[in-house]
Amino acid sequence: MKKKILITYVKVGGGHESIARGLKERLEEVFGNSIEIVISEPVNSWLDFAYQASTLVTPIFFNFIYTVFMSPSFIRIAYFANELVNGRKLRKYIRSINPDIVISTHFLIADEVKNMRKADGTEIPVVVYIADPLQPHPIWFNSHVDLFLSFDFENLPRKVREEKNEKIIPIGLPIRKAFFHIYEKKETFQEIRFDPEKFTIIFGGSGSGIDRLELIAKKFKDLESDAQAIFICGRNKVLERALTVLFRNNQNVRVFGYMSSEGIAALMQASDLFIGKVGPNIMFEAILSGVPIVATPPILGQEVVNREFISLKKLGFLTKNSSETIKYIREILKNPEIIKQQKKNMIALRERLVNREKKGFPEFIEWIQTTVMQKETSSFSHTHNKGGKFQQGPIEH
């Protein structure tokens, strides 16, 4: 009988969903028809709205909350609040799926499964992938989690490394396999009617398009340049409409909304420069694509360390505001040799990232074999894009 794996994420930006789909792809490659994977976002209403509203309107407040909740007392309050708002709905949903294991790319799941274990007398394993690879928030480390998956071991807090050593498997970042494929630049640009010989910049790329790109776009429009530009707005329809109007008469600019991973990967590889807010996923996708980064100011506190990583590894440039971003664009367009070394650094880092996953992921597979595949099926009671890569079809679920 097939084992059922439930992978959950919370749509706060695009990173959690992207990691969830990356995990799904890798597990299917290994286990094939012996497993059934359900991937979903069981709490999809107020969290997404609150996240986008706070990051677009009041990022200072979001960062204040992010800092305050580093305290153990406030972490308990956060879990209690989630239980009050989402607990019953989550438990009902998980029972309806009846999984043999729950894997989450967000911390809001462990307490709900714990309460189900107690009520139903079952021992369903809970795995959490820590989606902040370089400096994870303390709220991730819930004592009810059976296994943590992390980017690496070294970047975890020392106390966590000591106390939870046997419960952590570093597997790298499960970026979707589309970014490991090599795409032909000529073919990619032919599909969007671009000139493969022209310098091309790709902007944005986050799942919610919350990179404050409109201001940068307006200044870019005023540049006297023949460079081509691609703007990825994610699910942000307002931003997509605004940029479509702004560049309606410019043949050197293309504006896209939510795209498939294959579409973004192909465009990223074909571009010469990436500009945007560096969440961990988009940062490592740019690295795998070999496209140097101009990192715009972070909206969220957890993204500061990503900028430090770019600076430390010499993968690009950091800017403080839109004017400085345009200044870097102007300098790079004048002398593209500026980013030659960054490209070389990315090639070396790409190899290290690939090797890290090859080393760590088999250990996770072995854990699943022992914990899930060789055991009886879960005893929970039941309670019940068409076209080419660049078509903006329905979002996958």
Res. 300 pLDDT band, cuts 50 70 90? low
- Sorted by sequence, the CB contacts under 8 Å of residue 157 that are 6+ apart come out as 136, 138
**Mean pLDDT score, 242-261:** 92
Contacts of 43 (CB under 8 A, 6+ apart): 10, 86, 89, 90, 108
DSSP class of 371: I
pLDDT of residue 376: 65
Q: Which of 10-19, 201-210, 371-380 has the highest mean pLDDT?
A: 10-19
Let me know: does 295 contact 310? Beta carbons within 8 Å.
yes
Residue among 44, 101, 130 nearest 373 (CA):
101
Categorize the per-residue pLDDT at 389 as very low, low, confident or very high, splitting at 50, 70 and 90.
low
Give me the mean pLDDT over the 214-237 stretch. Answer: 89
Q: Are 169 and 148 in contact (CB under 8 A)?
A: yes
Question: What's the whole-number mean pLDDT along residues 226-250?
Answer: 90
- Band of pLDDT at residue 393, cut at 50, 70 and 90: very low
Segment 289-315 shows an average pLDDT of: 87
Query: Does the pLDDT value for residue 267 go beyond 80?
Result: yes
pLDDT at position 387? 43
Q: So what's the pLDDT on residue 44?
A: 55
Chain segment 91-112, per-residue pLDDT in tens: 888 888 889 999 999 887 777 7
Tens-digit pLDDT profile for residues 50-74: 555 555 555 566 666 666 666 677 6
Residue 71 CA, chain-centre distance (Å), reads 25
DSSP, residue by residue, 172-206: -----GGGGS---HHHHHHHTT--TTS-EEEEE--
- Please, are residues 75 and 138 in contact by the beta-carbon 8 Å criterion? yes
How far from each other are the two terminal CA atoms of the chain, in whole angstroms?
24
Q: In the prediction, which pLDDT does 69 show?
A: 60
Q: How confident is the model at residue 301 (pLDDT cuts 50, 70, 90)?
A: low
For the chain, give the percent of residues with pLDDT over 70. 83
Domains of the chain in start order, with CATH, are 3-176+357-373 (3.40.50), 178-349 (3.40.50.2000)
User: What does each C-alpha distance from 35 to 42, 346, 372, 385 come to in angstroms?
Assistant: 20, 35, 10, 25
Average pLDDT over residues 251-271: 94
- Rg (C-alpha) for the chain, rounded Å, is 21
In which band, very low, low, confident or very high, does the pLDDT at 293 lie, cut at 50, 70 and 90?
very high
Ramachandran quadrant class, 129 (left: phi over 0; alpha: psi -120 to 50; beta: rest): beta
Mean pLDDT rounded to a whole number for the chain: 83
Tokens of 186: 């000529």
- In DSSP terms, which residues pair with 168 in a beta bridge? 148
Angle at 59 between CA 54 and CA 63, to 5 degrees: 105
Closest CA to 125 of 110, 107, 106, 142: 110
pLDDT of residue 237: 85
Q: Which residues pair with 148 in a beta bridge?
A: 128, 168
Cα(148)–Cα(378) distance, integer angstroms: 21
Mean pLDDT score, 176-181: 91
Residue 245: per-residue pLDDT:
95
Pairing relation of β-strands 200-204 and 273-276?
parallel
Average pLDDT, stretch 211-223? 84
The answer, yes or no, to whether residue 396 has pLDDT greater than 50, is no
- Average pLDDT score over residue span 384-394: 43
Per-residue pLDDT, 28: 95
* Confidence bin at 394 (pLDDT 50/70/90): very low
pTM reported for the whole predicted model:
0.83
Residue 278 pLDDT level (bands cut at 50, 70, 90): confident
Cα–Cα distances in angstroms (integers) from residue 26 to residues 304, 318, 364, in the given order: 29, 33, 11
Give the three-class secondary structure for 316. strand
In this predicted model, what pLDDT tens digit does every residue of 128-145 receive, in sequence order?
999 888 888 888 888 889
Could you tell me how many residues make up the chain? 397
Supply the pLDDT for residue 206. Answer: 56
Q: Report the pLDDT averaged over residues 250-272.
A: 94
pLDDT for 187 beyond 90: yes
At 91, the amino acid letter reads R
Distances (CA, A) of 181 to 116, 177, 266, 268, 269: 41, 7, 9, 12, 10
Backbone angles phi, psi at 39, to 5 degrees: -120, 130
